[in-house]
Amino acid sequence: GGAGSGAEGGLVADLARWRSLAAAVGATAAKLGEAFLAATDRFPLTLNLACLARATPDAPSGRAEGPAAPRELVARARHLMRFADAAYGSVLMSALGTYQGSLPPAGVVARGVEATERWCVASHLGIDEADVKESHLVGGSLDLPSYYVAVDHSSRSVVLAVRGTSTLEDVLVDLVADSKPLGGVGLPWPLPPRLPFDPDEPHGHVGMAAHADRLDTAVTPLLKRLRAEHAGYKLVLTGHSMGAGVASLLALRMATRLEPADEALVFACPPVAARVPWLTRRLANVHAIVVADDVVPHLSLASVEGLLRRLAVIDSCEVGGTTRLSIAAGLEPPTEGMVRAATAADAPQHLPLEVPATRLVHLRRAGESDDASGEERARLVNVERFTARLDLAPSCAVDHLQPSYQRALDA
């Protein structure tokens, strides 16, 4: 009876969370519904997107202007990308061709799925299994993101790696794209949360902020203990995609209470925060890596709203379907009206979120040869300018995948 009651209680709690999350997703979609209908009033979305892309051929990589990124930062990113990738687990890594470990022996498999995943993480990273201090990689949850904590003696680091989107629960967290006030993030203690002349309150992505809050509670005691046990070791947070967003928000929380990580080096981080005090961002020390035309670092409610407004103008242009097909195929140049729509400044009604990084490194796609001008493969770019606007490119989804990041870093 007691076990049954516990199971029923867990089911009721899960259903309540699903209902709450579904309501938030529905409310988010409703905010963009009218804009979506305007963007597809006369012609299909696919055709309008293709015409818009032809009118903005250099975006978003065309905005990747800046000095060469420090080589040591790129080298650290190359090393830590394997840690971020390992958070996805052996099955997904094997499917994507990024797993660099061995097959687990029968004795390890007999210990259960979580123990097997922990062994595979260690094998993939080339560290002792005993140095994977905690793992939560099996069984997705709306309450807590999947993660693991490992000690990396080669870089003298304690590493917390957070998994990106890989389950239905993760997708729902991603879709809750509206923002809310960020509890636990503000000016570093003992300063007041906000100064009298700065009334703006920090905001963050609803779904990922909730994940960062719960992860903070779950993992902070272990991180404090490992920092004390490994004097001189750095504390590093990492993750890819949703994992990058959660790790960045956790870094902001830790900086606010003056317990900052030494670095948060994240990959394909979505826009997750706004109005974060400059001092807190500096203490959080978030460094973000973006490959080529990856769409996720540009993806927020405000940027999607801006994209839909541009598409609505494209849709309303006095151009027939046959001509649009020719433009989409590259057989004719885009009209002046399409170019004006593509280059118009966004004026979103929703609060624009940002990637809360002090430095953002843009990497060219692996296989793109260096040209005669000596263009650098890795550049430091302006975070706000590069990520605020959403422009789609044909490779924007493929560029987001872990193998694209690993290949670009290894090139």
Q: Where are the domains of the chain?
A: 2-44+300-343, 62-298+352-410
Tell me: pLDDT of 3 over 50: no
The answer to whether residues 244 and 88 touch, using CB atoms and an 8 Å cutoff, is no
Q: What does the pLDDT read at residue 271?
A: 92
Round to whole Å and give the CA distance between 276 and 299.
19
Q: What does the pLDDT read at residue 140?
A: 60
Return all residues near 233 (Cβ < 8 A) that are at least 6 apart. 151, 156, 157, 158, 226, 227
Which tens digit of pLDDT belongs to each residue from 365-396?
887 755 434 457 899 998 888 887 888 777 88
Which tens digit of pLDDT belongs to each residue from 228-263?
999 999 999 999 999 999 999 999 999 999 999 999
Which tens digit of pLDDT belongs to each residue from 210-221?
899 999 999 999
- Of the two residues 10 and 409, the one the predictor is more confident about is 409
Q: What does the pLDDT read at residue 372?
A: 38
Q: What does the pLDDT read at residue 366?
A: 84
Alpha-carbon torsion, ordered 303, 304, 308, 311, to 10 deg: 70
Q: How many CB atoms lie within 10 A of CB 133?
A: 18
What proportion of the chain, given as a percentage, has pLDDT over 70?
82
Residue 289, phi-psi category: left (phi > 0), alpha (psi -120 to 50), beta (remainder): beta
The mean of the pLDDT values for the chain is 85
Round to whole Å and give the CA distance between 111 and 213.
31
Q: What does the pLDDT read at residue 267?
A: 97
Element (H, E) at 149: strand 147-152
Fold of 62-298+352-410: Rossmann fold (3.40.50)
Which tens digit of pLDDT belongs to each residue from 312-356?
888 888 889 899 999 888 899 999 989 888 887 777 777 888 999
Round to whole Å and give the CA distance between 292 and 64.
9
Nearest to 300 by CA among 246, 229, 353, 343: 353
Q: What does the pLDDT read at residue 236?
A: 98
The answer to whether residues 360 and 288 touch, using CB atoms and an 8 Å cutoff, is yes
Which tens digit of pLDDT belongs to each residue from 4-39?
555 555 556 555 655 655 565 566 566 667 777 777
In the predicted model, what is the mean pLDDT of residues 257-286? 94
